[in-house]
Amino acid sequence: MLRQRMICPSASLPLWAGILLAAMLSGISGARAQEPTLDATRRVFPEVGAGFRAVRRGPDSSYYVLAAMTPPTTSKSSKPAAPSQFAVLVFDAEGRKIRQIPVEPPPRETVSGRSLDVDAAGRIYVADANSNAVIVYAADGRLLARLRIPSPTQIVALPHDQLAVHSANSGHLIAVYDLHGALIREFGELAELSDDAELNRRLNAGHLAADEAGILFFAFRYLPEPTVRKYDPASGQLVDELSLTTLDLQPMAQSARQEIARIAAGKAQLPHEIISGLGVDPQTQEFWLALGNLLMHFDNANNLTASSRAYTPDGARVVPDFILVEKDHLFLGSDPLGIYEFPRAPGKIPRP
């Protein structure tokens, strides 16, 4: 059995920090002016809005954005058609769009992109869950392969020409494949959230990220207690686990469990999302979690160092679907708002 390290922030933070964290998460901290806030400096890649899925930086310093493309209107109606095709938009370091991958999708092929990554060789990977495939493009945009992988929803390129995948219907959290689509190993025990096996698999959806050495971070979207696990992809061994289990978070966890019980009873409701976004510094293993628009920063020992609520320059709440950690700043992407640049250093937890 894997030994899991359970870490509770209240055990490593002073009392004032635990009280502030509880206030921010429970919504009882009062007006926005009384909370630490993190305001975006600007919106980037303005072509990207509704349908955003992921943003990565390639080895050529270009940015690769997976987003839905809206077909042009063909009728007299001024209402645009619904997005039906995903593409990878490539921007230079200054944010200018330089190309699109693929330039024109093959006839009768529709890509329903869920996740994106770029490896050290510049190859681009797109998870197409509806087609049970990971599509691989060369750095110049040529189609290289369609790997037959069941329901991929999250992908991360690993060293040694391997690929980590989180799938919607797998019995494990993570599977590692080679570039021919051959399964190498599976690992990561599912959390037990429901007696219904199919529902339990759906509730184990999560965010997948990695550092430059390939250590994998998995953040559960629906686990009532906000939880992040770290895995060694070579062995599948659990390296570490962060689980936020303070008494102050119990109301949020209780609400999430009640909603899961209603779904299990046949109610048509969506599960309560706990962690909406995850970002990892590839060099330092620092990571950021988004709980709604609350952005939490942890060091590589899982210590909470800062928390802020994220807003656009116009004051709109940003609930990140994706967090890209850069050396000097963060990119927070949210569907349908788009992608915004934020200072890397969140608002510090104030001392009394």
CATH of the domain at 266: 2.120.10.30
Task: Determine the Cα–Cα distance for residues 154 and 323; give it in Å rounded to an integer.
Answer: 14
At 197 the three-state DSSP class reads: helix
In a domain, 43, yes or no: yes
Range of the domain at 206: 9-343
pLDDT at 79 over 70: no
pLDDT at 351 over 90: no
Model confidence band, residue 169 (pLDDT cutoffs 50, 70, 90): confident
In a domain, 142, yes or no: yes
The model scores a pTM over 0.75: yes
- Percentage of the chain surpassing pLDDT 70? 81
In a domain, 40, yes or no: yes
Structural domain count of the chain: 1
What pLDDT is attached to residue 267? 81
In a domain, 349, yes or no: no
In tens, the pLDDT along 215-264 reads 999 999 999 999 999 999 999 999 999 999 877 778 888 898 889 988 88
In a domain, 3, yes or no: no
What pLDDT is attached to residue 151? 94
Angle, vertex CA 337, rays to CA 51 and CA 36, nearest 5? 140
In a domain, 173, yes or no: yes
- What residues have CB less than 8 Å from 136, skipping those under 6 apart? 123, 124, 125, 143, 144, 145, 146, 147, 179
Highest mean pLDDT out of 10-19, 63-72, 164-173? 164-173
Mean pLDDT over 317-325 rounds to: 97
pLDDT at 197 over 60: yes
